[in-house]
């Protein structure tokens, strides 16, 4: 008996973060290898080469991430992202956590301009009418016997339920988020009941080694525990799948691209890759998947920009460029974050001063005014998954609006929390999971699974850090060693911090709402909330008389210990000419790695 077969290609983008072109707004230069204008050419080639049916999806986190995205908040009625989606013929889009960063009215207004279904199964609100939990797409496939048959493609989308915590400043309970696995199970059941032949899950979530249904990265749990999913699109973590990023994970085939047997793809972020899943189908009493091929196709050097996307984005880039070039003050020294993993830089000190000034004004005249005021600040850019160009680098001369965006990449406001000395101690310990365990001379100093945005420095105290001890917390903020600590000593103004003393800790709204899962933040924590955006506070701070040239004070932390060893760090290649800045760490150049980072061996 002759088997009737057909081919179907699923293509997807994820975590575009408003990289509509290769223009790097923070440095006012063009970067090859990324941007939706170039990726559009790849999309069109893959669509033309599809052997059968085709569907194109986006997996969320598109609306925030670059100064262009910030500028387009004021262009809500003609935002370029819907035009890009409509021009390229997307079939459905899912939402990511950062798509909520500018609030519901903005999200609603932008997504109402999208021609295809906008999906989110685990976020509901009476004020959000632009989304639906799932959709059925009717596809017509030409089969091997020459007949054209209908394929009913079911699609749903889920995102981390922690989005409500991370965006409390602008959502504040107005959206109900449920677990991603629970929502996916209900949506898949509904789609199958409606007659879906295949079901695709747009999962704005990454992978864990093992099954974690409650954390922010629950994709493996969906593949394992939700029957009826034929393929998955992953995202959120800015990693890649298939590929070496997840090699050795339980239930994961990082070579062929499957999670517990379900084909899945995670394309790289910033419009640099297209994720592709080719399904071989047979038809008898219905459609069945017989085999699959998963791959990622990146934007190659020299890939030609798509003229239509270039034209869409041109006026927005010009307006954003003009705004970012606005001078605010004069800087007499070179600021950079190349060595912020070894000692805090002036960039973190400026942010600390801006948030503490804001909170000092907010608590003036209240019972909190007499409590010691501290500031918690994470590095704005410190390499990591965003690559060897992801560092603050501000040359002497005009300090411009683009440098404000460089120091404050997210639209956070400034909040504070009242914490005890013991909680401040634990806060620092939770941050220190950023440093890897010492496995001997030449081992990496930095834990690759610990993002720099959870590496907080507390200004207003002086901490002695001993890396000979194991980390007390894991990368998710859970205490894993009850009696361990990497804080050797914690002092304020020359005396040891009393664990019972109360402090006001200024920080971003993201952190104070629970982002990063830091000790002391909970439903009963007393908080101070302002509506002042961090960027506005920074702008005011840098425009004070000679503020920039007197920003760096005493270092709030430094390494101690008698068993310091030689460790390896990654930094920007440009740092090679500035090793005198870290002479005390006895740096030795090891060369560039495959990802373009400069490798240095240091004593820490």
Q: For residue range 553-584, what is the model confidence (pLDDT) as tens digits?
A: 678 999 997 677 899 999 999 999 999 999 99
Residue 314 predicted with pLDDT over 70 = yes
- CA 323 centroid distance within chain: 25
Mean pLDDT, rounded, for 350-354: 95
Mean pLDDT, rounded, for 207-214: 90
Alpha-carbon span 220 to 215, nearest angstrom = 11
Sheet holding 557-559, edge to edge: 495-496, 487-492, 462-465, 557-559
From residue 376, alpha-carbon distances to 348, 359, 360 in Å are: 9, 12, 14
Mapping DSSP onto H, E and C, the string for 131-175 reads: CECEEEEEEEEECCCCCEEEEEEEEEEECCCCHHHHCHHHHCCCC
Using a pLDDT cut of 70, give the percent of the chain over it. Answer: 98
Residue 288 predicted with pLDDT over 90 = yes
From residue 223, alpha-carbon distances to 181, 200, 309 in Å are: 9, 11, 35
pLDDT band at 302 (very low <50, low <70, confident <90, very high): confident
Mean pLDDT, rounded, for 453-466: 97
pLDDT band at 173 (very low <50, low <70, confident <90, very high): confident
Least confident of 307-316, 376-385, 542-551: 542-551
What are the structural domains, with CATH classification, of the chain?
4-319 (3.60.21.10), 326-555 (3.90.780.10)
β strands within 191-313, DSSP E = 198-203, 231-233, 252-253, 258-259, 262-265, 273-283, 287-298
User: Could you tell me which of 128, 87, 121, 126 has the C-alpha nearest to residue 107?
Assistant: 128
Structure tokens at 502: 């109360």
Q: Calculate the average pLDDT of the chain.
A: 95
Kindly report the number of other CB atoms within 10 A of residue 5's CB atom. Answer: 16
Q: What is the pLDDT of residue 561?
A: 76
Alpha-carbon span 409 to 19, nearest angstrom = 14
Mean pLDDT, rounded, for 193-203: 98
Residue 550 predicted with pLDDT over 90 = no
Q: What is the pLDDT of residue 502?
A: 98
pLDDT band at 3 (very low <50, low <70, confident <90, very high): confident
Alpha-carbon span 323 to 330, nearest angstrom = 17
Residue 164 predicted with pLDDT over 80 = yes
Are 331 and 402 within 8 A, CB to CB? no
User: Could you tell me which of 98, 124, 445 has the C-alpha nearest to residue 237?
Assistant: 98
Mean pLDDT, rounded, for 382-407: 95
Kindly report the number of other CB atoms within 10 A of residue 603's CB atom. Answer: 15
Alpha-carbon span 325 to 258, nearest angstrom = 46
Mean pLDDT, rounded, for 457-478: 95
Mean pLDDT, rounded, for 57-80: 96
Q: For residue range 19-46, what is the model confidence (pLDDT) as tens digits?
A: 999 999 999 999 989 999 999 999 999 9
Using a pLDDT cut of 90, give the percent of the chain over it. Answer: 92
Are 99 and 171 within 8 A, CB to CB? no
Residue 281 predicted with pLDDT over 80 = yes
Q: What is the pLDDT of residue 495?
A: 97
| Per-residue buried b or exposed e for 151-186, using 16+ beta carbons within 10 Å of the residue's own CB | bbbbbbbbbbbbbbbbbbbbbeeebebebbbbbbbb
Strands 92-94 and 53-58 come out as parallel
Alpha-carbon span 586 to 566, nearest angstrom = 9
Residue 532 predicted with pLDDT over 90 = yes
Alpha-carbon span 466 to 560, nearest angstrom = 5
Instruction: Say whether 67 sits in a helix, a strand or coil.
Output: helix
Q: For residue range 89-148, what is the model confidence (pLDDT) as tens digits?
A: 999 999 999 999 999 999 999 999 999 999 999 999 999 999 999 999 999 999 999 999
């Amino acid at each position: 008996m002759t088997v009737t077969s057909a081919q179907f290609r699923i293509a997807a983008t994820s975590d575009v973060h408003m990289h509509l072109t290769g223009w790097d707004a923070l440095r006012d230069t063009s970067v090859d290898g990324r941007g939706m204008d170039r990726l559009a050419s790849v999309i069109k080639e893959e669509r033309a080469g599809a052997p059968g049916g085709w569907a194109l999806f986006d997996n969320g986190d598109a609306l925030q991430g670059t100064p262009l995205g910030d500028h387009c908040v004021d262009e809500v009625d003609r935002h370029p992202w819907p035009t890009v989606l409509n021009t390229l013929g997307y079939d459905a889009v899912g939402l990511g956590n950062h798509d909520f960063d500018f609030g519901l009215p903005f999200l609603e207004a932008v997504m109402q301009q999208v021609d295809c279904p906008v999906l989110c199964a685990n976020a509901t609100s009476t004020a959000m009418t632009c989304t639906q939990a799932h959709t059925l797409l009717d596809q017509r496939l030409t089969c091997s016997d020459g007949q054209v048959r209908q394929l009913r493609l079911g699609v749903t989308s889920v995102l981390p339920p922690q989005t409500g915590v991370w965006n409390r400043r602008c959502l504040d309970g107005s959206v109900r988020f449920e677990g991603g696995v629970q929502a996916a199970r209900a949506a898949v059941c509904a789609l199958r009941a409606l007659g879906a032949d295949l079901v695709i899950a747009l999962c704005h979530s990454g992978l864990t080694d093992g099954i974690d249904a409650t954390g922010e990265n629950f994709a493996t749990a969906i593949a394992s525990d939700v029957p009826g999913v034929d393929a998955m699109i992953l995202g959120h973590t800015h990693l890649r799948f298939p590929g070496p990023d997840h090699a050795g994970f339980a239930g994961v085939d990082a070579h062929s691209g499957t999670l517990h047997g379900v084909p899945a793809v995670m394309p790289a972020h910033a419009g640099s890759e297209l994720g592709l899943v080719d399904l071989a189908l047979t038809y008898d009493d219905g459609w069945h998947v017989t085999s699959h091929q998963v791959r990622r196709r990146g934007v190659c050097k020299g890939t030609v920009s798509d003229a239509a996307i270039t034209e869409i984005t041109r006026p927005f880039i010009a307006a954003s460029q003009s705004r970012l070039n606005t001078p605010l003050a004069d800087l007499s020294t070179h600021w950079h974050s190349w060595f912020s993993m070894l000692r805090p830089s002036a960039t973190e000190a400026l942010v600390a001063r801006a948030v503490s000034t804001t909170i000092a004004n907010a608590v003036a005249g209240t019972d909190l005014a007499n409590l010691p005021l501290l500031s918690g600040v994470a590095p704005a850019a410190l390499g990591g998954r965003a690559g060897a160009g992801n560092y603050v680098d501000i040359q002497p001369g005009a300090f411009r609006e683009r440098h404000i965006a460089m120091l404050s990449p997210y639209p956070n406001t400034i909040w504070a929390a009242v914490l005890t000395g013991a909680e401040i101690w634990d806060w620092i310990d939770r941050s220190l999971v950023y440093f890897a365990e010492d496995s001997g001379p030449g081992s990496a100093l930095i834990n690759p699974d610990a993002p720099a945005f959870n590496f907080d420095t507390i200004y207003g105290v002086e901490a002695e850090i001993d890396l000979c001890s194991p980390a007390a917390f894991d990368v998710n903020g859970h205490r894993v060693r009850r009696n361990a600590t990497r804080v050797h000593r914690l002092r304020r103004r020359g005396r040891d911090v009393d664990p019972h003393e109360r402090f006001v800790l200024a920080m971003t709204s993201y952190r104070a709402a629970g982002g990063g899962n830091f000790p002391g933040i909970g439903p009963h924590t007393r908080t101070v909330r302002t509506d002042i955006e961090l960027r506005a506070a920074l702008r005011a701070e840098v425009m004070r008389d000679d503020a920039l040239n007197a920003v760096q004070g005493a270092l709030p932390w430094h390494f101690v210990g008698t068993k310091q060893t030689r460790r390896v760090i990654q930094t920007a290649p440009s740092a090679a000419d500035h090793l005198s800045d870290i002479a005390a760490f006895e740096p030795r150049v090891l060369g560039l790695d495959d990802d373009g980072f400069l490798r240095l061996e240091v004593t820490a």
